[in-house]
A and B are shown apart, each in its own frame.
Chain A
Amino acid sequence: MTAFTAGQLIDLAYLVAVALFILALKWLSSPTSARRGVLSGEVAAALAVIATLYNPEVIQYKWILIALVVGTGAGIPLGMVHMTAVPQRTALSHAFGALSAAMIGIAEYYVRAPRLTPFAMTEIALEVIIGSLTFTGSLIAAGKLQEILPQRPITYRGQNFVSLSVLGAAVVMAVFLIVHPEYVHLFPAMVLVSLVFGVLLVTPIGGADMPTVISLLNSYAGFSAALLGFVLNIKVLVVAGALDGSSGFILSVIMCKAMNRSFTNVMFGAFGQMQTPAGSAAAERTVRSATAEEAAAILTAARTLVIVPGYGMAVAQAQHKVRELFDILTRKGVDVKFGIHPVAGRMPGHMNVLLAEADIPYDKLLDMESVNPEFPQTDVALVIGANDVTNPAARKDAGSPIYGMPILDVDKARTVMVIKRSLSPGFAGIDNELYYLEKTLMLFGDAKTAVGEIVRELAGGGH
């Protein structure tokens, strides 16, 4: 019996890492065990990295060490960003992941080219195309989320035709390279065209569709890593890529369902310009506006309150004021809960993280399925910076563009209060009939200021 070779020992270390990866995700299922999941992932990653440094193929450590130091230097600030910046940080990390996968694929191509079998060329081309488009696509998404780029959809006539032609060009070049691997100079052109396609893919998508887009990019980044595992025959990459890819895919499906839209509609629909606002006659209808004082009086009289936060709360960074409201009302004996729509905010779970940051206990954060049956018994529903996800037209009006989208049934509560900057329609350009209901009170203003004023009234009137 012979001892293990270095290669076998590395493989075993990778196998342990794979098992720990799966445990990490399993432990993430509940907030009580989730941090153990992070630890498990960290141990796995450390084990795999250390084992790889002992790989006999690695003969030169200088650049590796420099890169590890640079990576740590960039990673720590990216891990310490403020919670409000988490969506753009996530998009940026998809970009880095895809960049890394694309760079490795390109390096591997130039090491092997032009002696590549058609099969190997197919794998590499696919990997590099997906990696490249995910890199630029994620950068654009991060730019939109950081508001360096405009959040509104940027569209022009014939856009889908242009975008798909660019993707087509990348595919044609890939096929040509598979048939004629000697045309090595075509490879950088294929990479360039894929990079351009990534830009074209995400530019037309509006801010409100970001939860789906960021999930899709997550899934692409995962699958490009898995493909890299195929190219290099490293199973740990195949597993990590499959886990990441399926996670992104599941989240994309959840986001699409929550908007009652298909992938193609999100990617090529450019929601913002598709519809012209249907009810311009609605402008004649009246709304009841209220002051902070009146709102405070109603909230004091309530026994049950459901707060529905949306992107407006995130923009105004109102979560800490909301926490003050939560505290003061809880002390007064009001039962306060939060109803969170899957696509509220700019990425999956965005609202939960912001509210958890403001120290609101997570058992008060209810998802759509759990909170909807509670609205008919709710005294007050307080909508803070959310719009389309509360529009009853999605339930009733078959002609509405958002018809069929699952919504939070705030209109079933006894009183509805809406904090909103103005009456302007949401991203879909649709009027929200919720605002014109008899039981609805509008508080116009910035979410942080408006909630702050209510808190002041409550504190002042409390003794």
Chain B
Amino acid sequence: MPSGFVESLYVFVLAGFIGFEVIRRVSPLLHTPLMSLTNALDAIVVVAAIVIAGRQETRLSTLLGAIAVAASFSNMVGGFLITDRMLRMFKTSRPKKS
């Protein structure tokens, strides 16, 4: 078992707990923006895609990497955009506290 695996497992378990605690507190009102925001955050796989596409190991890996860059970057751009558009629509009828 490579040593990196155990480290990753630590990170995964801790992030899973944090995710659970933080996301549990998101109001059902915002469940759709929650899904589009986590989707945009998940598009961070673009960093792995950039390395695969830019390492120039084989023609295939460059091609697959470039497809992955395009797919995940469109999620990143589109995900943040639509989340912000949705959240801008949520207005309260109560006067703002200042």
Residue from the list B1, B44, B83 in contact with A48, Cβ < 8 A = B44
Docked complex Cα distance between A238 and B5 (Å): 11
A57 touches B28 (CB 8 A): no
A64 touches B53 (CB 8 A): yes
B78 touches A25 (CB 8 A): no
State how many angstroms separate the Cβ of B22 from the closest Cβ of chain A: 5
Residue from the list B32, B71, B76, B89 in contact with A349, Cβ < 8 A = B32
Residue interface mask B59-83, A partner, CB < 8 A = 1 = 0111111111111111111111111
B50 touches A66 (CB 8 A): no
Docked complex Cα distance between A363 and B83 (Å): 19
Q: Give the residues in chain A near B77, CB-CB below 8 Å.
A: 71-72, 75-76, 78-79
Does A147 interact with chain B (Cβ within 8 Å)? no
Q: Give the residues in chain B near A17, CB-CB below 8 Å.
A: 44
Q: Which of A28-86 contact B (CB under 8 A)?
A: 28-32, 34-35, 37-38, 41-42, 44-45, 48-49, 51-53, 55, 57-61, 63-64, 66-68, 70-81, 83, 86
B90 touches A34 (CB 8 A): yes
Contact status of A107 and B44, CB under 8 A, knowing A29-B22, A67-B70, A367-B28: no
Q: Give the residues in chain B near A68, CB-CB below 8 Å.
A: 69-70, 73
Q: Which of B22-45 contact A (CB under 8 A)?
A: 22-45
State how many angstroms separate the Cβ of A365 from the closest Cβ of chain B: 6
Contact status of A21 and B20, CB under 8 A, knowing A31-B87, A34-B90, A357-B89: no
Category for how many chain B residues contact A: 35 or more
Does B58 interact with chain A (Cβ within 8 Å)? yes
B45 touches A100 (CB 8 A): yes
State how many angstroms separate the Cβ of B34 from the closest Cβ of chain A: 6
Residue from the list A24, A38, A94, A101 in contact with B45, Cβ < 8 A = A101
Contact status of A75 and B11, CB under 8 A, knowing A350-B32, A359-B91, A367-B28: no
Docked complex Cα distance between A252 and B13 (Å): 19
State how many angstroms separate the Cβ of B39 from the closest Cβ of chain A: 5
Docked complex Cα distance between A64 and B52 (Å): 10
Q: Give the residues in chain A near B62, CB-CB below 8 Å.
A: 60, 63
State how many angstroms separate the Cβ of A56 from the closest Cβ of chain B: 10
Does A279 interact with chain B (Cβ within 8 Å)? no
A79 touches B43 (CB 8 A): no
Docked complex Cα distance between A17 and B82 (Å): 21
Does A328 interact with chain B (Cβ within 8 Å)? no
A349 touches B31 (CB 8 A): yes
Category for how many chain A residues contact B: 35 or more
A100 touches B80 (CB 8 A): no
26 chain-A/chain-B pairs, Cβ below 8 angstroms: A21-B41, A22-B18, A24-B37, A49-B46, A57-B54, A60-B56, A64-B54, A67-B69, A72-B74, A78-B74, A78-B81, A86-B32, A100-B68, A104-B68, A107-B68, A108-B61, A120-B2, A218-B35, A225-B44, A242-B19, A248-B35, A250-B24, A348-B35, A352-B90, A356-B90, A363-B92
Contact status of A28 and B30, CB under 8 A, knowing A38-B84, A57-B55: yes
A107 touches B64 (CB 8 A): yes
A25 touches B26 (CB 8 A): yes
A97 touches B12 (CB 8 A): no
Q: Which of A1-22 contact B (CB under 8 A)?
A: 14, 17-18, 21-22
Contact status of A93 and B81, CB under 8 A, knowing A78-B74, A364-B93: no
Docked complex Cα distance between A120 and B5 (Å): 10
Residue from the list A28, A74, A250 in contact with B37, Cβ < 8 A = A28
A104 touches B23 (CB 8 A): no
Residue from the list B19, B45, B54 in contact with A247, Cβ < 8 A = B19
A103 touches B51 (CB 8 A): no
Residue from the list B33, B45, B54, B79 in contact with A228, Cβ < 8 A = B45
A237 touches B28 (CB 8 A): no
A38 touches B71 (CB 8 A): no
Does A243 interact with chain B (Cβ within 8 Å)? yes
Q: Which of A369-422 contact B (CB under 8 A)?
A: none
Does A306 interact with chain B (Cβ within 8 Å)? no
A76 touches B58 (CB 8 A): no
Q: Give the residues in chain A near B74, CB-CB below 8 Å.
A: 70-75, 78, 96
Q: Which of A416-445 contact B (CB under 8 A)?
A: none
Q: Residue among B36, B41, B56, B92 with the most chain A CB within 10 A?
A: B41
A103 touches B49 (CB 8 A): yes
Does A244 interact with chain B (Cβ within 8 Å)? yes
Q: Which of A213-246 contact B (CB under 8 A)?
A: 214-215, 218, 221-222, 225-226, 228-230, 232-246
